[in-house]
Amino acid sequence: MTIEPASALFLPDIDPTCFADLRGSLGAWYDRVQRDLPWRRTDDPYAIWVSEVMLQQTQVKTVMPYYHRFMERFPDVAHLADADLHSVYKLWEGLGYYTRARNLHQAARMICATMGGRVPDDAGALRTLPGVGAYICAAVLSIAFGRAFAVVDGNVKRVLARLFLLEAPANQTSGHALFQSTADRLLDSSDPGRHNQAMMELGATVCAPRRPRCDRCVLAVYCKAFQGAVTDQYPRRVKRPGLAEHCWVAAVIVKNGRFLLTQRPPQGLLGGLWEFPCVTLQAGDDPLALCVPAMRSITGLKIELQQHVGCVQHAYTHFKLRMEVYVCQWRQGRVRLDGPVAAEWVRPGRTGRFALHGVVHKALPAIEKVFHQDIEPLKEFV
């Protein structure tokens, strides 16, 4: 990974002589007001890498408790590499984008197996690790190793678009080259880690998507959007369609005081997480009619439907999920999975060791309420 020289994509009317003053103002502002965040108190590339992975499309206030727990449990690459993936998922539970956790775990094992147990300081080697794209690579190399790589994330794009009235859409890959070229030109190569963090801090705390605090912005004097009173028009964005909705039917299969949890395959939607056995509903499917035969197909069990618990809905980042939940009684058979990769019979209230995805967590209170009703097939749960 190399920094390319200014390209034809870079706006020709930007005066590069202002860059030195802009960098100086930005850096001085950052030194005064930066938030005290744990990953800013270290130059450990592993700790910085973990923080940047967690911070992808996730707010700092959400990440903080996860970061502390994760670093306590896995303080270095070796501890993470030695862990089983389930324990990593469990610590990640609720943070979303579970592919990040799986890639981080796989990358740690690669580092320990082939890179001497140390996060590489070479862009080529770093980019071979699962989940390490241009942003993570630039962040780790600049912040941990002082290498001159400019980061471009959503916050940086917003700052750049307003500073220079960049017309490229911030939410399309076709516009990334312009943002990267601009960030490369603006980078303070004498202290790239400080500069990158300052740009991201400005976007996160001052140059907000809505109602930016321009009166408190150290770069307002340089900002073309502020000067033209058009901050609300930048960055440009292409309107995207609404979130896709998935519809599932799930069964809480009861047997001898326990219910069945199954684990999704590691790849794909919500990969590696645990749930009640479930299948996707197609348009026109009747969940009531589909439940028993579908569950028998994926678990190998003969079951009898007892009652409808309800419809549980949950919005993930990239899709919405609606799940019809039924309580079913086991009648015969041993678990033979077709689809899920693992299964366990679990007592109510004992799900804490499983990494469950959001809609399952949301369904649990309703299921517990059903368990405590005086229903003959469910008395064993009381």
Give the active site residues.
52
What span, in angstroms and rounded, lies between the C-alpha atoms of 261 and 371? 16
Identify the bridge partners of residue 319 per DSSP, sorted by sequence position. Answer: 244
Query: Whose CA is closest to 3, among 174, 142, 166?
Result: 142
Contact assessment for residue 196 and residue 55, using Cβ atoms and an 8 Å cutoff? no
Q: Residues 161, 164, 170, CA angle at the centre, nearest 5°? A: 20
DSSP string, 119-171: --SSHHHHTTSTT--HHHHHHHHHHHH--------HHHHHHHHHHHT--S-TT
Q: In the structure encoding, which two tokens stand for residue 40, read together?
A: 């800013």
DSSP string, 358-374: HHHHHHHHHHHHHHTS-
Query: Whose CA is closest to 264, among 369, 164, 340?
Result: 340
What span, in angstroms and rounded, lies between the C-alpha atoms of 273 and 265? 8
What span, in angstroms and rounded, lies between the C-alpha atoms of 41 and 167? 36
